[in-house]
Structure formats: structure tokens, C-alpha cells
């Protein structure tokens, strides 16, 4: 029998929420339902970090806390978690160590974004990893401050974080873990009626039965895209099916020759596996959204929504990834590039879900990936490019080239792939000559992120860059920042 409430832990008590509105965000529950108004509404699209809260879940027997943007996280997705907001940190009159360090280092001025900054640093504090300035900057990339400046904030982080946590959350860890384990009842969730509901099946069989009855339901994984349909497009989504309780969709398996990524695995969970394939993938992953987005968003969701400017499809296509879809009828596999049919249209049959991606590891070939955007951190691509070359005796003998932002779908550049065969690597003039073949593959559009002329010119430049870099040697001569050498050390 399905459960008709969601349950999560707040301040030592289990909250049971009947969810009158399936699209209720966690931010609105906190602010309007609990009147916990310390969590702020800023951009309402997951960019500024003012709404950051910590979500604790069991991982390998311990409670792991990650930051999420409450403004685009549906309240129903908090089922089974420990939800920690800014009001929860202090013990009576004693501030949390992160809060105290922010006070002592004058890390707050107007204060509006400070709760979100503190909550991000709270998760870093709980993580316990050694910290330096780059670690803190990466952790705070999704938190904007326009008043104080980041120096005192980073100083506060360096002082308070980086050791074994010694706050009340650490002291209560065993009790919290036991409570979260008790919440994991394995029951399907269905709240509402047949016309309007929030559902969170716990098993694939339950999911397929639900989709058979409601083929018009909206599937939600991390809500980093669907959340904006609600907060920005003001769309009414009467039937929500959240996939986050289906454990089999979250598995990540290293099979030896490939990485099999479950569609429900988050960017954060996938990161060490994908970064080990190539340093450029480590650099790219660091630039996908923010820490909050990577903690919630899924690679499968990035593929399933079919966006022409998604960061992951071009690199996965260039690597030769296979997509698996599943329904009650069974499993269907295809090359990933075949999934994208037209703008907003994918080869997904009624009742099918994206099951997993199988990503081959690299051999002796050359791989390069480049993301062009207006900001280095947390921005949408104007052009995303990925290249995989086989090189023998200094010339390209095989190629897979894929782009995002250049067409209505993520797309292979078949004319360019043919043109680069035989091209000598390391020869800039030859590389620029074959790069002109991209005009046969793409006729990009003008939009707010880039003009068509810029996109085409930039794509040609990136192809030439990849061919030059394929000659090996350091990338210091071809990269402004994000050196592969640095990423390689980080992965090692």
C-alpha cells in the first residue's frame, strides 16, 4: 500500500507532510509552511545560492550532508532526508563554528545571501576534507555575494572548516543515522488523486505501472531543470513522478572497459568515475552548475531533457556512449547520438525511461573537451565541443566529433570527422584548413548567448585547437585556464 505523506527529519523530529500541492518547493515549505524565513529567496532559479540548505542522507552507513538550492528542490524530494536550515545551526546562544568565523572575519554586510553561504560552508565543515583557497572557492561557486567580497568569507571558511566536525551534528550522528534508516521503509509514495498528485515510487515495477496509468506525468530526477519550469515558466504540473527513491537507477559500475551510469546518479556521485577517463572531463564537471546543482542534478536527466546546450551529451557522444531505455516491455539500447531526433523531441516511447548510460573508457586515443560560456563558473554553454581522435604516425586515422549549442540537438559533426582523417596533428595551418569543414555540419542560430557567426568561428577554432593539442606536450600554450596538467594531478 502506498504511503500518502512524505517524511523527513527536522530539528530532531520527524515531519509528516501531506503535500497539498505536488509542485511545492522546499523553499516555500520552509518559509511559508514552517515560517523558517532565514532561508532566502533570491534568483529563484538555483543560481545565487541564497536559498541553500543542507540535505543529509545515509551514505555507506554515515550521514553525508550536501548543499542544495531549496528554491528548485521539490519538497517531496526531501523524503527520507535530514533537512538542515540556517535556523538549526546554533546551540542556544552559541553560534555554530562556521557562523562564529563569519562574524569574526566580518564575512557579512547586507546579510541577504549570508544564510546560503553559511549553509554551503556548513556542508564543507561536515565533509571534513582538508581545505585551501581553491577548495573553498569551488565549494562557494554557487553562492553570490555582492557586498562583502569573498576574502573575509574565504578566511572564515579556512578557519572553521577542514577538520573532523565537532558540532552537535557530529555528536548526534549515530542517532540521526538511525532515524534516517527508520524512514527508509521501501514504500511507494502517492499523495493526491488521479488528476493531481506527487508520486515517488520505490521500485521500477511500481514506476512502470504508474506511467501506464499516467503517460502524461512529468518525470523528475534532480529538478534542476523542471524546478525552473515551476518557478520561472510558472507552469502547472499536476502530475509529478519523482525518481529519486529508486535505488537501481542510482548505481554506478566500473565494468573495466566502460563506466555504466544509472540515470538517477547525480553529477557529484559520477564525478570521480568520469574524471578518471580524462582530465578534460574533470575540468568540465567542475563547471557544470554549482556544488548545489551537482548534488541534485543527474546525468540521465541532462540527457533525457534533450537540451541542445546540455554540457554532457556532446562529450558522451564523442566518447561513443550507449543509451539504455527501459519500460515494462524491457530494455532498449541505442547509440546516444540517435536519441536526439529534433528540438524538444527524443526517441523515447510511451512508458519508457532513461535507464543508464554506458560510457567507454579511452584507450590510446586523444580526447579533448572545451566549454565556452560568458562566465567560467556556473554558466550555460554558448558552444560545447568534444573530440576523440585516433592518431598514428602523427596523423588522424579516426575521429568522433560532437558539439552542443550549434544545432537544435547535440550533434556529431560527420563532415568534419571525414575531413580530419589524414590531417597531421600539431600543424596549425593544416588544422585550420580542415576546420572549415564545419560549415557543412552546422548552421547555428543567433540568440542571447552568442551569434551564429561567433559560434561557427569558435567551433572552427576549437577543432583546430584540438588537432594542435593532439600532438601532445603541455597545454600551457593552448589553454588560458583549466590546464589538463592540473586536472590530471587532481584526479591522481
* CATH of residue 219: 3.30.43.10
Query: Tell me, what CATH number does 268's domain have?
Result: 3.30.465.10
Backbone angles phi, psi at 468, to 5 degrees: -70, -45
What per-residue confidence (pLDDT) applies to 475? Answer: 85
What per-residue confidence (pLDDT) applies to 19? Answer: 92
The 10s digit of each residue's pLDDT in 402-427 is: 999 999 999 999 999 999 999 999 99
Radius of gyration of the chain (CA): 23
What per-residue confidence (pLDDT) applies to 472? Answer: 83
Task: Round to whole Å and give the CA distance between 180 and 200.
Answer: 17
What per-residue confidence (pLDDT) applies to 332? Answer: 98
Task: Round to whole Å and give the CA distance between 389 and 179.
Answer: 51
The domain containing residue 400 runs over which residues? 366-491
> What is the count of structural domains for the chain?
4
Same domain, 390 and 475: yes
The 10s digit of each residue's pLDDT in 340-360 is: 999 999 999 999 999 999 999
Same domain, 255 and 138: no
Same domain, 355 and 371: no
What per-residue confidence (pLDDT) applies to 477? Answer: 81
What per-residue confidence (pLDDT) applies to 491? Answer: 44
Pull the grid cell for residue 401.
Answer: 566529433
Task: With 0.75 as the threshold, say if the pTM is over it.
Answer: yes
Which of the 8 DSSP states describes residue 73?
Answer: S
pLDDT less than 50: residues of the chain = 491-492
Same domain, 235 and 253: no
Query: Tell me, what CATH number does 481's domain have?
Result: 3.30.390.50
The 10s digit of each residue's pLDDT in 220-261 is: 999 999 999 999 999 999 999 999 999 999 999 999 999 999
Please report whether residue 50 resides in a domain.
no
Same domain, 374 and 328: no
Please report whether residue 429 resides in a domain.
yes
The 10s digit of each residue's pLDDT in 303-336 is: 999 999 999 999 999 999 999 999 999 999 999 9
Asked whether the beta carbons of 410 and 314 are under 8 A apart, the reply is yes
What per-residue confidence (pLDDT) applies to 245? Answer: 97
Same domain, 233 and 259: no
Return all residues near 4 (Cβ < 8 A) that are at least 6 apart.
18, 189, 190, 191
The 10s digit of each residue's pLDDT in 105-118 is: 999 989 999 999 99
Which stretch of DSSP H or E encloses residue 384? strand 383-392
Pull the grid cell for residue 33.
Answer: 509552511
Q: Which among 220, 242, 264 is the end of a domain?
A: 242
Amino acid at each position: 500500500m502506498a504511503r500518502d505523506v512524505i517524511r523527513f527529519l527536522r530539528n530532531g523530529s520527524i515531519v509528516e507532510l501531506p503535500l497539498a500541492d505536488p509542485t511545492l518547493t522546499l523553499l516555500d515549505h520552509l518559509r511559508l509552511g514552517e515560517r523558517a524565513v532565514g532561508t532566502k529567496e533570491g534568483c529563484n532559479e538555483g543560481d545565487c545560492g541564497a536559498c541553500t540548505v543542507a540535505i543529509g542522507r545515509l551514505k555507506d552507513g554515515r550521514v553525508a550532508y550536501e548543499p542544495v538550492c531549496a528554491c528548485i528542490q521539490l519538497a517531496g524530494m526531501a523524503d527520507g532526508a535530514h533537512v538542515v536550515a540556517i535556523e538549526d545551526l546554533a546551540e542556544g546562544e552559541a553560534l555554530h563554528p562556521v557562523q562564529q568565523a563569519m562574524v569574526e572575519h566580518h564575512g557579512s554586510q547586507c546579510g541577504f545571501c549570508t544564510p546560503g553561504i553559511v549553509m554551503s560552508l556548513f556542508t564543507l565543515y561536515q565533509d571534513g576534507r582538508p581545505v585551501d583557497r581553491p577548495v573553498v572557492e569551488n565549494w562557494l561557486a554557487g553562492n553570490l555575494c555582492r557586498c562583502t567580497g569573498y576574502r573575509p568569507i574565504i578566511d572564515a571558511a579556512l578557519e572553521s572548516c577542514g577538520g573532523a566536525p565537532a558540532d552537535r551534528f557530529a555528536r548526534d550522528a549515530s542517532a540521526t543515522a538511525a532515524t534516517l534508516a527508520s524512514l527508509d521503509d521501501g514504500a511507494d509514495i502517492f499523495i493526491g488523486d488521479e488528476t493531481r498528485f506527487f508520486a515517488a515510487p520505490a521500485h521500477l515495477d511500481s514506476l512502470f505501472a504508474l506511467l501506464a496509468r499516467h503517460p502524461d506525468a512529468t518525470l523528475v530526477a534532480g529538478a534542476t531543470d523542471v524546478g525552473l519550469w515551476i518557478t520561472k515558466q510558472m507552469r502547472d504540473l499536476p502530475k509529478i513522478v519523482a525518481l529519486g527513491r529508486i535505488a537501481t537507477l542510482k548505481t554506478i559500475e566500473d565494468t573495466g572497459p566502460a563506466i555504466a551510469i544509472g540515470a538517477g546518479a547525480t553529477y557529484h556521485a559520477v564525478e570521480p568515475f568520469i574524471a578518471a577517463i580524462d582530465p578534460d572531463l574533470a575540468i568540465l564537471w567542475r563547471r557544470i552548475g554549482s556544488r548545489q546543482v551537482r548534488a541534485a542534478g543527474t546525468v540521465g536527466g541532462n540527457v533525457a531533457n534533450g537540451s541542445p546546450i546540455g554540457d554532457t551529451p556532446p562529450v558522451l557522444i564523442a566518447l561513443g556512449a550507449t543509451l539504455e531505455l527501459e519500460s515494462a516491455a524491457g530494455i532498449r539500447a541505442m547509440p546516444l547520438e540517435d536519441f536526439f531526433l529534433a528540438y524538444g523531441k527524443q526517441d523515447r516511447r510511451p512508458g519508457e525511461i532513461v535507464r543508464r548510460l554506458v560510457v567507454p573508457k579511452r584507450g590510446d586515443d586523444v580526447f579533448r573537451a572545451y566549454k565556452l560560456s560568458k562566465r567560467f563558473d556556473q554558466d550555460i554553454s554558448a558552444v560545447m565541443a568534444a573530440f576523440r581522435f585516433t592518431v598514428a604516425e602523427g596523423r588522424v586515422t579516426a575521429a568522433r566529433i560532437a558539439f552542443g549549442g550549434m544545432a537544435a540537438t547535440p550533434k556529431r559533426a560527420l563532415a568534419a570527422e571525414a575531413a580530419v582523417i589524414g590531417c597531421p596533428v600539431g600543424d596549425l595551418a593544416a588544422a585550420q584548413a580542415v576546420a572549415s569543414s564545419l560549415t557543412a555540419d552546422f548552421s547555428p542560430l543567433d540568440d542571447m548567448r552568442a551569434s551564429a557567426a561567433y559560434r561557427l568561428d569558435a567551433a572552427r577554432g576549437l577543432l583546430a585547437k584540438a588537432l594542435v593539442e593532439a600532438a601532445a606536450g603541455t597545454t600551457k600554450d593552448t589553454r588560458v585556464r583549466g590546464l589538463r596538467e592540473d586536472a590530471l594531478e587532481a584526479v591522481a
